[in-house]
Structure 1
Amino acid sequence: MKGYPEIITILPPGMGLALAVAVPLLAAALLFRPAARGVVRRLAPLTALPALMLALTGSEEVLPLSWLLLGAELRLDDTGRFFLLFTAWLWLIAAWFAAGYLARDRRAHYFLLFFLLAQAGNFGLILANDLISFNLFFTLMGLAAYGLVIHRRNEADLRAGRVYLTLVVLGEVLIFVGLLGLIFTTDGALNLPTAMGEGPPPGSFTFFFLLGFGVKAGMLPVHFWLPLAHPAAPVPASAVLSGAMIKAGLLGWLRFLAPPAPAATVDPATASPTMPEWGLLLLLLGLAAAFYGAFMGMTRQEPKTVLAWSSISQMGLITTALGLGLSAPELFPRVLETIKLYALHHGLAKGALFLAVALAAYRINGKLLTCGVLLPALALAGAPLTGGYFAKDQLLALGQAFFADPAAGSLLSPGWWEWLLKLSGFATTLLLLRFLALLRQQWQQNNRPDNTAATTPWSMLLPWGLLVLSGLPFWSFYLPAITVPMPEFTLPMAPGMLPGTLLPLLAALALAWLLRRRWPARLVSEPQEPRTVKRLAAAWHAGAGWTGRTVKTLDQLLQRLWQTLATVWQQPARQLEKQVALWPMAGCASVLLILLLFYLLL
């Protein structure tokens, strides 16, 4: 493919596709031999290397496996290559990090078994080119991740695992129904609709793909496994859950919901006239998730839980991009590139932040940890010259192009769309400040002179540093080779754009400063401040003069407003999520979906 280096290899055609999936499966099989477990644990990061090399240097190819299942087929296309690139890198880094993180864990080989199975499933669904193998690998990844969630086997982890497994089974039923419907409406064809314009949309079965893959993508209202699974899973598993596996649902949407190309000839009998309505639904759900996830995360007390809600919020923004593409098929090529860019940026940044949570439990230099955490945090907040800025700039341009079209109706104006994205950036920045404050408290607790925390091992520090550096936007010089258009580098430096870009960040910093002493639920007590600082703070909050009294009154009003909103918003949300997560409700939903399938097929 143009833009990639020429590959010189002695491997037969298609062997790279086979090795990408077979190597982690073979390593997982070797774990059943106790004598081989030590070797597998040391070489586990290398199991992602074939997939990474395939993404970097492989050419577009197809590997038919007519002897497997009903005739499986693996394929490397542009979209699959892009997802395989950052996914394989995240799995490699997480396995390398896990070697030090689980060095003294007696159940490390169990973790590694499920880790490798989920990794093989993730690579396989990216490369699958037929419906059966795609569903097989998707199921393998989802079920293997259950073993990662319940690794520690305590009561809270088992409960989180039950909720996760409930939603995984529900999602698999939904996807299976959608696949059956797709097979029936295409006269039994099993080929995967991997690119825009290769086939008609799934018609009446769009709902099943939207909700089925939405479970894995953390879409509202099937998002609530994320805040439970991330705190339960070990940190390396959380990094790939949020950075890589959550993108599998996004890839499923792209594979099965891509509208026909504008010039493509589509049979009116099979084309779906309701795709714009589904796009509008995704647009509204995505915007709701962007703000709902950010606000709920601000009320949490555990750093990993805050990051889980951040993933729900960020995936909400990606969902809005997909909604724009389904509502306006002529924009879908640009939407596809925007989603790719957002997936890459979010995967690298979120993986680095999750790994930083584990490092804060060790004795580590505070400046090093701060620098390594601020870089991905600023990217998620959309600071200028970061990957998040480029992704949000693309999303802003898409929305303005869509809402400027009179055919889009009067739902929003381009100006309102811009302000919504700015408010989303404001909420994301507050959420990340909450995460940074909690992480700082955890680091302070483990780095006091009387604490006996161990020094950070290099087997954890080095992969984390590489992941942080890979999240810097220097990859923008390489991404045009994989068909991701980037804004001009002069845009972030334009004097007229800087105030608008920095406004959400500065406003969030100002509000956080006002609430710095009233933020709910500190984890640990902060160390004593210097006497001079304490006196200045006492003078400030004593209300000396009308300025001090005004600021103190505003501080109290903001605190009361915050507590009221948190109470009103949080309690109903928890009750609703608790009811939806019950097994009987999942079983009834599965039965209703099966009945709906028969109704649609008759």
Structure 2
Amino acid sequence: MTALLLIATPLTPLVFLIAVTMPRLRARALGLLWLAPLPGLACALTAAGADPFIVYARVRLTLVLDLPSALLLGGAALLWSAASVYVRSYIARDAQPRFAAWWLATMAGSLGVFVAGDLVSFYFVFALASLPAWGLVIHDRTPRAWSAGASYILLTVIGEAALLAGFALLAAFTPGDSLAMADVLPALATARLRDLAIAFLVIGFGLKAGLVPLHVWLPIAHPAAPMPASAVLSGAIIKAGIIGLIRFLPLEVTPAGWGEALAVIGFVTAFWGVAMGITQRNPKTVLAYSSVSQMGVVAAAIGMGLAAGIGTTPVSAAFYALHHILAKGALFLAVGVAASIGGRARWWVLGPAILLAMGFGGLPFTGGWLAKEAVKGELGEGLAGALSVLSAAGSTLLMLHFVRRLSLGWADDASSRPPIGMLLPWLALATAALILPWLLFPFAGGNLSAVLTPDALNKATRPVVVGLLLTVALLRWGERLPEVPGGDIIHPARRLLAGAAPLGGLLARAEALLRLWPVAGLALLLLTFALAFAMLGA
């Protein structure tokens, strides 16, 4: 049964994809889209810690699920299912088959990364989580969407190329034929080019997770994509980068210096996301920068865990990221609901949104508060502790800024109400983000009695109070802040390269070429198969 669930996790969305292409089955498949992620949820609930399932024994192509992966897989499956219900009411009916094709392919990769246990299968599903998402970004076919899609696919190809190089080095280090992570990663400890391999991995996974300066695709792609696509891009797909950092940088083989470097990158990312986010006017762009900031906190926790030799860090970081999957995915759905609701019914959006927003700053008794408590072992002392407190205050400021921008987007008609297919997924995910962390906190090594003491609650409240005071200042002087274009540093970089002949013309031709999905997609798939055949042939 465990093996069936491991296989069904990435395979079920692909079966639905085939059904969508068949006219006789298309309508039923679209109506049952929310079922496609449920084998992944069942897998997360029952298969964690079970023996790996070996698909191909010669090189140990493997499917496996550990506790950190199970936490992320369960959260991602819930988000994909809720967002799939949302799709039926949000996406125009005649556009649903086209949207579903990209949606299901991306879903298969997004869920598959959590069960892939070897280099070939992980690379394949990682690419599957990345490349088809281009179709989600450009779905509206507006000039803005096409431009965002071009930037997204260009950066994705760069990340995939870095990951390909890192995996090739890992395979070269391994003395035997096995490509299973459990056999490949121990060889990294004594490899001559260890630091180069780790650098490639950090670039590839850091780009997907949105770490500065590789974060620029998030605030470009999110505002252009339809609401359910933004929810899974920010909530689920970027976690492919997080699970990559957790799995491919194990404590036993990663030097402490790389942990310190990752912590520095993480904290820079956390504060950069806040600084850029408070200048934004579009609530979706604010949420995108919030995701940048929150993934910076996760990276800092992973880095500090590596530097300090904390063996529980993978589970703690995964628990923090699980909360982000649910809460951030819910808030993206809330933006769409807010645009179609008016009158007193607005509180169906505003009330839960305020709770979720304050949770990112660590407001006691929210799911976000427990998420921050889970990484206290990594981020609770010394300089890292001080930076973590400041980051929590910044998150409070940024998320209250989001609530304010959200409150400006209500429907003009006070009697307007959203379709039930949009309202229910939003409320379900919001409820899950508030309740599930309480149920899962003990599995992440948390102690509820320890975090419910008056002293612990007082410490958790302080950064929230600071964030509230900063929000008052932002309300008074925030309009004076210039709105930084989404993607921030990519815009001066484009101008710099455009003015540097012949690089400017080369970049323009490359970007125009990468607008064509078949070219970029085929190139990456050929690279994937080339890697697989090279490894198998070896």
Please report the TM-score for the alignment, with normalisation by the length of structure 2. Answer: 0.86
Alignment CA distance shift 1:187-1:584 (3 Å): farther
Q: Secondary structure at the match of 1:73?
A: strand
In the alignment, structure 1 residue 512 sits paired with structure 2 residue 512: no
Alignment CA distance shift 1:578-1:322 (3 Å): farther
**Which is worse superposed, 454-463 or 232-241?**
454-463
Q: Distance in 2 between matches of 1:99 and 1:489?
A: 43
Q: Distance in 2 between matches of 1:434 and 1:375?
A: 14
1:445-460 equivalences under 5 Å are: 446-449=411-414, 454-460=416-422
What amino acid maps onto 2:400 in structure 1?
L
1:465-544 equivalences under 5 Å are: 465-480=427-442, 483-494=443-454, 496-520=455-479
Identity over aligned pairs, percent: 34
What amino acid maps onto 2:3 in structure 1?
G
State the Cα deviation string for residues 491-524 of structure 1 (Å, max 9, x = none): 3441x3444322222233233234435432xxxx
CA contact (8 A) 2:280 2:484 kept: no
Which residue of structure 2 lines up, in the alignment, with residue 297 of structure 1? Answer: 277
Equivalent residue for 1:256, pick from 236, 248, 251: 248
Which residue of structure 2 lines up, in the alignment, with residue 26 of structure 1? Answer: 15
1:52-63 equivalences under 5 Å are: 52-58=41-47, 60-63=50-53
Equivalent residue for 2:232, pick from 223, 237, 240: 240
What amino acid maps onto 2:329 in structure 1?
G
Measured after TM superposition, the shift of residue 570 of structure 1 is 10
Alignment CA distance shift 1:250-1:190 (3 Å): farther
Equivalent residue for 1:334, pick from 309, 312, 320: 312
1:558-569 equivalences under 5 Å are: 562=481
Equivalent residue for 2:71, pick from 78, 82, 91: 82
CA contact (8 A) 2:315 2:444 kept: yes
Which residue of structure 2 lines up, in the alignment, with residue 222 of structure 1? Answer: 214
What amino acid maps onto 2:219 in structure 1?
P
Max Rg structure: 1
Which residue of structure 2 lines up, in the alignment, with residue 424 of structure 1? Answer: 391
CA contact (8 A) 2:68 2:319 kept: no
Equivalent residue for 2:175, pick from 180, 187, 190: 187
Alignment CA distance shift 1:158-1:381 (3 Å): same
Equivalent residue for 1:93, pick from 78, 82, 89: 82
In the alignment, structure 1 residue 576 sits paired with structure 2 residue 493: yes
Q: Secondary structure at the match of 1:138?
A: helix
CA RMSD of superposed structures (Å): 3.0
Number of equivalences: 501
Alignment CA distance shift 1:573-1:508 (3 Å): farther
CA contact (8 A) 2:278 2:286 kept: yes
State the Cα deviation string for residues 26-78 of structure 1 (Å, max 9, x = none): 110122123322111100001111111121123614333239x9663222333
CA contact (8 A) 1:396 1:421 kept: no
Which residue of structure 2 lines up, in the alignment, with residue 317 of structure 1? Answer: 297
In the alignment, structure 1 residue 136 sits paired with structure 2 residue 124: yes
Q: Distance in 2 between matches of 1:244 and 1:375?
A: 21
Q: Distance in 2 between matches of 1:442 and 1:341?
A: 32
What amino acid maps onto 1:435 in structure 2?
F
What amino acid maps onto 2:492 in structure 1?
Q
Q: Specify every segment of 5 or more residues in structure 2 that has no aligned partner in the other structure, as ranges.
A: 499-503, 512-526, 528-538
CA contact (8 A) 1:195 1:255 kept: no
Measured after TM superposition, the shift of residue 304 of structure 1 is 0.4
In the alignment, structure 1 residue 436 sits paired with structure 2 residue 406: no
Q: Secondary structure at the match of 1:117?
A: helix
State the Cα deviation string for residues 80-131 of structure 1 (Å, max 9, x = none): 32221111111111101111111x3422111111111011112222111221
Q: Distance in 2 between matches of 1:348 and 1:41?
A: 23
Alignment CA distance shift 1:583-1:339 (3 Å): farther
Q: Distance in 1 between matches of 2:495 and 2:208?
A: 18
Which residue of structure 1 lines up, in the alignment, with residue 335 of structure 2? Answer: 357
What amino acid maps onto 1:447 in structure 2?
D
Which residue of structure 1 lines up, in the alignment, with residue 265 of structure 2? Answer: 285
In the alignment, structure 1 residue 106 sits paired with structure 2 residue 91: no
Which residue of structure 2 lines up, in the alignment, with residue 404 of structure 1? Answer: none
- Bigger proportion of residues as helix: 2
Measured after TM superposition, the shift of residue 475 of structure 1 is 3.9
Q: Specify every segment of 5 or more residues in structure 1 that has no aligned partner in the other structure, as ranges.
A: 1-10, 261-270, 402-413, 521-558, 589-593, 595-602
Equivalent residue for 1:388, pick from 353, 362, 368: 368
1:544-563 equivalences under 5 Å are: 562=481
Measured after TM superposition, the shift of residue 419 of structure 1 is 2.6
1:142-153 equivalences under 5 Å are: 142-153=130-141
What amino acid maps onto 1:350 in structure 2?
K
Q: Secondary structure at the match of 2:114?
A: helix
State the Cα deviation string for residues 453-512 of structure 1 (Å, max 9, x = none): 8521111111111111111145433443xx411133353441x34443222222332332
CA contact (8 A) 2:359 2:366 kept: yes
Measured after TM superposition, the shift of residue 349 of structure 1 is 0.8
CA contact (8 A) 1:117 1:140 kept: yes
In the alignment, structure 1 residue 369 sits paired with structure 2 residue 370: no
Q: Secondary structure at the match of 1:442?
A: coil
Which residue of structure 2 lines up, in the alignment, with residue 347 of structure 1? Answer: 325
Alignment CA distance shift 1:499-1:62 (3 Å): closer
Q: Distance in 1 between matches of 2:350 and 2:319?
A: 26
What amino acid maps onto 2:402 in structure 1?
F
Measured after TM superposition, the shift of residue 254 of structure 1 is 1.4
State the Cα deviation string for residues 365-422 of structure 1 (Å, max 9, x = none): 1221111211211211110122222222333332346xxxxxxxxxxxx1x4333222
